[in-house]
Structure 1
Amino acid sequence: MKTIFLHRENVQMIAKEAVPTVLAIGFFDGVHVGHQQVIKTAKQIAKKKKVKLGVMTFSPHPTEVLSRGKKAVQYLTPLSVKETIFTSLGVDILYVVTFDEVFSALAPKQFVAQYLIDLHVIHVVAGFDFTYGTKGKGNMGTLFYDSDEKLSVTTVTKVIYDGNKISSTYIRQLLNEGAVDQLPAYLGRHYVTKGNWHKAKVIISHHYTYPKQGYYYVELSSQRRTIETVVSVIDSNNVAVIDERLHHFNEGEQISIHWKEQVSSNERKLSNF
C-alpha cells in the first residue's frame, strides 16, 4: 500500500500523477466492523471496475481543529495502526488529508473538485453519516450533484450488532465501562494499545483511548515474546501498571497490550506464571 499525505500546497501536484480509484472515505477511527464494510464494499467495486482501491482519511481529528484545541481526542487507532489494518484489507492507495482550518472552510463543491475529481476518483463509498465541506454541509445525498454528476456513489447503511450501531463512539463507551471483552464483536479483533516498558509498567501512548480504572486480563507482546497476565489501569495518565514481579521485557521496549477482559480485584492472580 502506498501512503500519500495530502494538503493544500501539494494536492494539485499529486493530482497530476493520480490513477483512477474507487475511494472509501471517512475518518475510520478504530477501523471497526462498520468501517471494514465500507472498505470491503469499495474493494468489490474496484475489482469490478478494474481500478485501484483507495482510502481517504484525515489527520488530525476534525474535533481537535474545529474546537481550536479545546477538545482533546483520544484515538482508538493512531494513523500507523490504521495503515497496518488498511494494508491487511487490500487497500492500494491511502490518502491522508491534513485537516486544518483552511481545509474545514472548503465549500462542498471545492472539496469534491480538488480532493476527489482531480485525483481521478471515479466512485466513492462511505457510511450513511459521512459529511464534507464547511460545517458538514455536504453529505452522501449531495455528493453526486456536487461532482456535477461525474462521480458514482455507494452509501453503506449503519451496521448493527446486538441492537447497537457499530460506531467509534459506542466503542469508546464500552472502554469507559471497562467492557473490553465485548470489543471483538465491534472491532473484529481485540482492542490493542501500544506503549513502552518502564519499571514494570507500560506507559501507553497519549494517542489511545484506554479502559477505565480497574484490573484487566491481557496479553502483552513484544518482538521477542508474548505473555498473559493481569494489569491495573490506575489513573488518567495513560499508565497500565504491571505486577512488579514481572521482568520479561527490556527497559524502553515497545509493548502491545491486547485487552481481553476486566477482572475483579479478587481475580487478579497471575495464575499463568
Structure 2
Amino acid sequence: MQVYYDISDFQTLKNAVVTSGTFDGVHLGHQTILSRLRETAQQSQGETVVLTFWPHPRMVVSKDSQNLRLLSTLDEKIEALRQSGVQHLVIIPFTREFSELTSEEFIQQILVDRIGTKKLVIGYDHHFGRNREGSFEYLQQNAHRYGFEIEEIPRQEIDHITVSSTKIREALLEGQTSVAHDLLGRNYTFTGVVVKGRQLGRTIGYPTANVHVSESYKLIPADGVYAVRVKVRSQVYKGVMSIGFRPTVNGVGRTQEIYIFDFQDDVYGEKLTVEVVDYIRPELKFDGLEALVKAIDEDCAAALAILKD
C-alpha cells in the first residue's frame, strides 16, 4: 500500500476507484465498504484509493474535542487499512481551512483533478464538504458533470450488524468487550510505553508493566480487570490487566498495569501492544494487601481460563 501524507504527492490515476471517510477503528461497517471497493476495482481493472483525514475532523471543528476518544491512532488506522488490501491511502491534513471547502470544491479539486476518480463508493448517509452539505443524492444528480460513477452501499448491507464507531466506543467504556469485538471484527488494542510506577507489585509477587499511552485521544476501556494478550518484542504473551486508580494502595492517577504470565524481562522504556480479550470484574477496593493478593490470584486464574486456547 502506498501512503501519501500530502495529496500533492499523489499522481493522478487513469482508473481510480475511491472511497473516503474517517475510518476510526476500521470496523466491520468500514470493512463492508472496503470489500466492495476492492471488488469494484477488480471488475474494472482499476486501483483502489482511500481518502481519509487527520486529525479527526471533530478534533478540529468540535467544541468538545478535548473529550473526544478515538478507537485508532493514525498508525493503527494505516495498518488496518493496509491489512484490508487498499492500494493507495491518501491522508489529507484536516484544518479549519480545509473544513470550509464546499462539496463542489472537494469533488472537483480532490476527487476529479487530483485523484482522477472513475468510480466513487460510499456508505449510506455519507456527507462531505462544508457543513456536510454534499450527499449521495447530490453526487447522483451531478455525476455526469464530474465524469465518474457513484455507488452507495445499501443501508441494509451495513445495518444488519448495526455497527458504528460510536457504538464501539460506548461498549468499551462500559466494559462490554464482547460487543466491541463483534462490531470491530477483532479484539480492541492499544499500544504504549512501559514506565516506572511505585513497583508495589513486586512486593506482593505480581510485578506489573505500567503502560503509558502517549496519545491522549486514544480510548482506554472502562476501569476494571481484563484478560489480555500482550505483544512484547514480536512475541505474544498471556496477561491480566488492571485499569483504574488502585484504591487499595491509595493510587494517584489512572493507570494500565499488566501482569504478564511467564515473563521476567525488564521492559522499561519499551513498547507493548495490549489486546483486550475479555472483561473479568470491576475495580474494587480491598481491605488490605492480603485480600488484594487473593483477588489477583483469582483474576489470574480467570484470565488463564479465558486465554486457554
TM-score by length of 2: 0.79
Partner of 1:254: 271
CA contact (8 A) 1:203 1:238 kept: no
The DSSP-based 3-state class of the residue aligned with 2:257 is strand
The CA deviation string for residues 171-219 of structure 1, in whole angstroms up to 9 with x for no partner, is 0010111111222211111111111122321112324211111111111
The CA deviation string for residues 218-242 of structure 1, in whole angstroms up to 9 with x for no partner, is 1111224322121111159663112
Please list every run of 5 or more consecutive structure 1 residues that lacks an aligned counterpart in the other structure. Answer: none
CA contact (8 A) 1:204 1:238 kept: no
Partner of 1:65: 60
Q: Counterparts of 2:183 and 2:62 in 1: how far apart (Å)? A: 28
Q: Counterparts of 1:86 and 1:244 in 2: how far apart (Å)? A: 29
Q: Counterparts of 1:249 and 1:179 in 2: how far apart (Å)? A: 32
Q: Counterparts of 1:132 and 1:123 in 2: how far apart (Å)? A: 16
1:18 partner amino acid: T
Q: Name the larger-Rg structure.
A: 2
Indicate the percent of aligned positions where both proteins have the same amino acid. 25
- Verify: 1:202 aligned to 2:201, yes or no: no
- Verify: 1:35 aligned to 2:30, yes or no: yes
Specify whether residues 225 and 209 from structure 1 end up closer, same or farther in structure 2 by C-alpha distance, changes over 3 A only: same
The DSSP-based 3-state class of the residue aligned with 2:172 is helix
CA contact (8 A) 2:226 2:278 kept: yes
Q: Counterparts of 2:276 and 2:141 in 1: how far apart (Å)? A: 44
- Verify: 1:135 aligned to 2:131, yes or no: yes
1:192 partner amino acid: T
CA contact (8 A) 2:108 2:146 kept: no
- Verify: 1:155 aligned to 2:152, yes or no: yes
Partner of 2:242: 232
Q: Counterparts of 1:160 and 1:268 in 2: how far apart (Å)? A: 36
Partner of 1:186: 183
Please list every run of 5 or more consecutive structure 2 residues that lacks an aligned counterpart in the other structure. Answer: 197-208, 246-251, 283-294, 305-309
User: Could you say which structure has the higher helix fraction?
Assistant: 2
- Structure 1 residue 149, shift from structure 2 partner: 4.7
- Structure 1 residue 116, shift from structure 2 partner: 0.2
Partner of 2:102: 107
The CA deviation string for residues 64-108 of structure 1, in whole angstroms up to 9 with x for no partner, is 111267544322111211111211221110011111111111111
The 5 A counterparts of 1:86-101 are 86-101=81-96
- Structure 1 residue 37, shift from structure 2 partner: 0.6
RMSD: 2.4
User: Could you say which structure has the higher strand fraction?
Assistant: 1
The number of equivalent residue pairs is 265
- Verify: 1:173 aligned to 2:170, yes or no: yes
Q: Counterparts of 1:38 and 1:139 in 2: how far apart (Å)? A: 16
1:226 partner amino acid: V
Partner of 2:221: 211
2:258 partner amino acid: I
